[in-house]
Amino acid sequence: MVSIKDIAKQAGVSISTVSYALNGSPKVTKETSARILAIAKELNYIPSAAARSLKKRETKIIGIYLTDYSGAFYGQLLQGMMETLSENGYELIVCSGKESHRFLPERMIDGAIILDATYKTEELLSHAERGHKLVVMDRRMDHSNISQVLLDNKAGATLAIDYLAEKGHQKIYVVKGPDISFDAMQRLEAVQKAVQRYSQIEYIELQGDFNKLSGEAAAKRVHQEFSEPVGVFCLNDEMAIGMYNYFSRTNLRVGEDVHIIGFDNIEVSQYVQPRLATINYSKHKWGALASELLLNLIKKQKNEHERINVSLIEGDSVRNR
């Protein structure tokens, strides 16, 4: 492997001069610099990232921690992150695998964005304590080395309940998410508050884990207890789609017997029949903002707390009772 040492020898200069030249430092004259660069190109020189990051203590890479890749959901999110980071000379890597939590402490990445409920909060805190920079998207944390950008789950959940109520639904099921999920808990809390405002509403909670299968299971419960048209708020679209799957095999019709609204507005939601009513927000913006905050944290040592707005998307999955 050709190193700056080889270039130095070839050019008849010292390795420090080569290093300066390669980094475009004004300390070395135009001519020497040009000569060195030419030789570097000729020798097919490729810098060693390991050596550089060992010395400079930075990698210009930031990591995003996700629970799972699935769902078209993440595509836009990552796209948003990438753009912001790329513009600032950073690369984005998606961290997966059971050992990837070591990326941050072992300094393979300069910072991390967390969207992975399984990552322990204490562990994140200890990273921050050690001086690492983080942005959390899936929990609330207050630390000078941590910024956060969260969805406005409360507003979203309230919109959903209001929508069902407005359409005249008085019996409302809520399919919950996993306890470990901050978003799920926030949404649930808001739901509980919202239904209290409607004295006539009968409100029932059903188990759920944000996956399709649990949506199907919840649908089964609803089916068994069915006597009159009901409203259902699935705390995410994934489970709502699971419900569609179930009801397509029964005599109950979505939008007639069972009125469903979801949360997230994932891609499939606009293609199912009838179109799923849901709560929307810009995944792209969410990702971009998270990256921006991380860069601010790294460059300006400034931590911030931001919120992503949500809005209601109407759909024929919820009609008047």
User: Which residues contribute to the site for DNA (CB under 7 A)?
Assistant: 1, 3-5, 12-17, 19-20, 22-23, 26-29, 31-32, 45-48, 51-52, 54-56
CB of 207 to a second copy, least distance (A): 24
DSSP 8-state assignment for residue 99: T
Cβ proximity to a second copy: between 61 and 185 the closer is 61
Q: Where are the beta strands (DSSP E) in 185-287?
A: 202-206, 230-234, 258-261, 278-280
User: Residues 289, 182: contact at Cβ < 8 Å?
Assistant: no
Which one among 91, 205, 304, 306 touches a second copy, defined by CB under 8 A?
91
Residue 24 touches which member of a second copy, DNA, none, C-beta under 5-8 Å by kind: none
118 lines the binding site for a second copy (CB under 8 A): no
Cβ proximity to a second copy: between 38 and 72 the closer is 72
The DSSP-derived string for 27-47 is TS-HHHHHHHHHHHHHTT---
Residues of span 200-259 touching a second copy by CB under 8 A: 241, 244
In angstroms, the CA 86 to CA 79 distance is 10
2 lines the binding site for a second copy (CB under 8 A): no
Residue 15 touches which member of DNA, a second copy, none, C-beta under 5-8 Å by kind: DNA
In angstroms, the CA 293 to CA 4 distance is 36
Taking contact as CB under 8 A, which single stretch among the options 106-114, 156-164, 176-184, 290-298 is the one that binds a second copy?
106-114
Distances (CA, A) of 291 to 79, 87, 93, 115, 152: 11, 11, 12, 12, 18
Distances (CA, A) of 235 to 58, 178, 267: 40, 10, 16
Cβ proximity to DNA: between 31 and 228 the closer is 31
Cβ proximity to a second copy: between 33 and 291 the closer is 291
Cβ proximity to DNA: between 54 and 180 the closer is 54
